[in-house]
Structure 1
C-alpha cells in the first residue's frame, strides 16, 4: 500500500474519532433524542449478529417497542444466552429452542417474542439455509437489520467460499440475505393478492394485509470514505493483492452503502410501476400514498461503539510489548468514555427504521442521528449497479433469483 494511502486512512480514523467524541457528548447531554417507535409494535424484525454489541442493543430497543425479533447468530449457544437476557430485561417471550415461527402461528403473542436462528455470514450456504427456513415459515418480514460484521482481523482470512472474510461477512452474505428475503417477500405479497382476488376483493388495497412495507438497513461506516473500489473492484472480493486489514474493512463498508442505495433504487422503481399499474384499477390508491408506504433500504453509520469488536481493534493497534500498559487505558478510559454506548448507537438504527421513507430512503444516516453526506463513490449509480451485478455473479444468483 502506498504511503499516501496509509496517511489518508490514519487521518480518516482520527477524523472519525473526533466526530464520534462530539456525538458521545451529545448522547450524554441528551441532545440526541430517543425515537418514538410505537409504529413497530407487532412487526417482525431480523437482526443479524443480534446476540452482542449494537445488534443486541437494537434487538432490546425493538422488543421494548413491541416488535418481534429474530436473532440471526453464528452460535446457537450465544444466541440463546442473548435471548434469555432480552427476555429477562424486556419482559418479552423467549422461545426455548430455535426458531422461526411456524406458518400457522400468524397472530403475534400479547408480549413481543424473541427467537434465535442460526446464520453464519462466512458461509453462503448458511445464508441460503436461513432463507429456506424463513420462507417455509410463511412469516411476514417488516424489518431486516444487516448488523453483524468483522472489523480488521490481524491476518487475512479466506472463507470456505473463497472470499476475504470482511468482504463476505460485512457485505456479500448480507447482499445475498437481503436479495433472497426481499424476493420471498414479493412472492408472499403476490400470493396474498391472488387470495384476495379469489375472494372477490382484487380491486382493493389493504395496506395492513398486502402492502406492509419492508425496510432493509445496512450498517455502514464513515470509513467508507477510505474505500478504493473504482480501480480495484475485481480484486476486492478476494483481496489477494496487497491486502491491508483496514483498507479491506473500508471497502466492505462502501459496498454495504452502495448496496443500500441500489436496493432502494429498485424499491422506488417497483413502487412507481405499482402505482402506474394501479391507475387502471377501480378507486386506485394515490401514487403518492404508495410511495409513502413503499419498501425502503437505508445505510447507517452507528459510530465508534464500545463493543468487544472495537475494544479488540484498538488494543491490537498497539505493539504487543506495550499492551500491558495500553490495555488498561483502552479498557477503563478510552472505550467507556470516548466511544458510543451500544444503546445510543441503537437509536441511530431506530431512526433509520422509523423515519419517513422520503427522508431516509437510499440515504446514509450518520451518528447524530440524521441524514449525512457520503463519499462521491457512494453516490455513483454506475458503480453501484456494477457491484450489484458482480455480487449476483459471486453468489451464483440466476436471473429468476435476482431482484430487478
Structure 2
C-alpha cells in the first residue's frame, strides 16, 4: 500500500507540474488576482533580494505603490538607483525595458512608500553578513522578506567567493544565510501580525537529483582549475540544469524548514512560490534568449510579463489571516494555488538535512 501511495504522489506531482508550469500556452491557467487588490501596506517594512529587475522590481513597485518602506537588495548600486527612479515614475518593467501605463486619478493620489537601497551580493557570504548587519542597524522590524533573487542555468565551472557552485551558492546558501541572520527580527513580530518569508522556487525543482541535493557536487573540487578557460576538471559538479533544479529544490526545503521550526508557534509564515515562466533577465545566460527580443509575439506566446510573474509572491505575502496560515510551508504555483511539490520534500529529515548542511557551511566562513 505504501508503495502505491508513493507512486500516486509522484503522479499527482507530475500532473500538477504540467498544468501549472506557468507557460501561457496552458491557456486556461491565468491569474485571478491582481496587485491592485493588495491591501494598504503603509507602515510595513519589506526586503526584496534582486529588487532591481524582473519579478523583484515588480514586487518593489507594488509595495511602494501600496505605501510600504521597501529595501531593494542587490549588488549594483547604479542599477538599484535606476530601478528606484523608475519605480517612482510608475514604470513597469518588461523584456525590453520600461513602459509607463496610464494611471487613474486614484492611483496617482495614493500615498507612496519609501525606497531604500542596500548592498547585497548573494555569491559572497561576507557580503550577506554585512547586508544583514546594515539592515538591523536601520530597522527594528521586518514584515516581509522576499528571497526573490536567483540565477538559472549558468555555465558549469563558476563558483561563489567561498567556493560553492554559483547557482546553489546564490539561490540557496546566500538566501539561507540572509534568512538566518534576519530570523530573530522576523520572529519578533506579534502572532496577530506574523512576519512572512517568501522564497522563489521553480517547477524545475522536479528535476533535482535523487534525494533532492547532491551535496558533494556543490562544493568546489580542489582539482578544478582557477582559470575557467581551461577544461573543467571537477569530478562531482552537475550539469547546469541539474544544478539549477537542485537549487530550486533547496529553496522549497528552506520554506518548509521555517514552517517546521516556527510555523506552529504562530510567529512566522514561510512560503515557496513558482512565479511562472516570466520574461525577465533570469534567462540571460541562455544563448537563445537574446534573439527573442526581436520577436515580441513569440515572447508573449511562451512567457508572462514580469508583473504577472510577481503576482504569486505578492499574493502570498499579503493574503489576510487566517487564510494565510493555510499557505504556511506550502509551494504556490501559477496562479494563486497551492501546488504539489516533489514528494520527497515532504520528508522532514531531508528538509532538516538541507538546513543543517547550510548552517555547517556558514560556520566555516563566519
Fold shared per TM-score above 0.5: yes
- CA separation of 1:395/1:349 partners in 2, compared to 1, >3 Å: closer, same or farther? same
Match of 2:246 in 1: 251
Q: In structure 1, what is the equivalent of residue 257 of structure 2? A: 262
Distance in 1 (alpha carbons) for counterparts of 2:75 and 2:19: 29
The answer on whether the counterparts of 1:47 and 1:145 sit within 8 Å (CA) in structure 2 is yes
SS in 1 for 2:286: helix
TM-score normalised according to structure 1 size: 0.71
Question: Hey, what does 1:386 align to over in structure 2?
Answer: 353
Aligned match of 2:106: none
TM-score by length of structure 2 reads: 0.78
Displacement, 1:23? 5.6
**Aligned residue-pair number:** 315
Map 1:52-131 → 2, pairs under 5 A: 52-89=53-90, 111-131=112-132
* Alignment partner, residue 335 of structure 1: 299
Among 279, 282, 286, the residue aligned to 1:306 = 279
Secondary structure class of the residue paired with 1:365: strand
Please give the alpha-carbon distance, in whole angstroms, between the structure 1 residues aligned to 2:131 and 2:237.
34
Per-residue CA deviation, residues 122-150 of structure 1 (Å, 9 max, x unaligned), is 00000000111111124310000001111
Runs (5+) with no aligned partner, structure 2? 1-13, 92-110, 221-233
Shift of residue 243, structure 1, vs aligned partner: 2.2
- In the other structure, the counterpart of 2:32 is 32
Aligned mates of 2:295, 2:169 — CA distance in 1: 29
Q: Structure 1's 310 and 231: CA in aligned 2 closer, same or farther, altered over 3 A?
A: closer
Cα distance, 1:345 vs structure 2? 1.2
Shift of 1:160: 1.5
Distance across 2 between alignment mates of 1:68 and 1:172: 26
- CA distance in 2 between partners of 1:310 and 1:159 (Å): 19
Residues 143-292 of structure 1 aligned to structure 2 (within 5 Å): 143-186=144-187, 207=190, 212-228=193-209, 230=211, 233-238=214-219, 240=234, 241-269=236-264, 271=265, 291=266
Structure 1 segments, 4+ long, off by >6 Å, are: none
Cα distance change of structure 1 residues 248 and 331 upon mapping to structure 2, 3 Å threshold = farther
Give the direction of change, closer, same or farther, for the CA distance of 1:383–1:252 in structure 2 (3 Å limit).
same
**C-alpha spacing 1:68/1:329, structure 2 compared with 1 (3 Å):** closer
8 Å CA contact 1:59, 1:69 repeated in 2:
yes
Change in CA separation of 1:24 and 1:44 when aligned onto 2, cut-off 3 Å: farther
Rg (Cα) greater in structure? 1
| Structure having greater relative contact order (Cα 8 Å, sep ≥ 6) | 2
Q: Which residue of structure 1 aligns with residue 269 of structure 2?
A: 296
Query: Equivalents in 2 of 1:351, 1:238: separation in Å?
Result: 35
Q: Distance in 1 between matches of 2:211 and 2:293?
A: 38
Q: CA deviation at 1:377?
A: 1.6
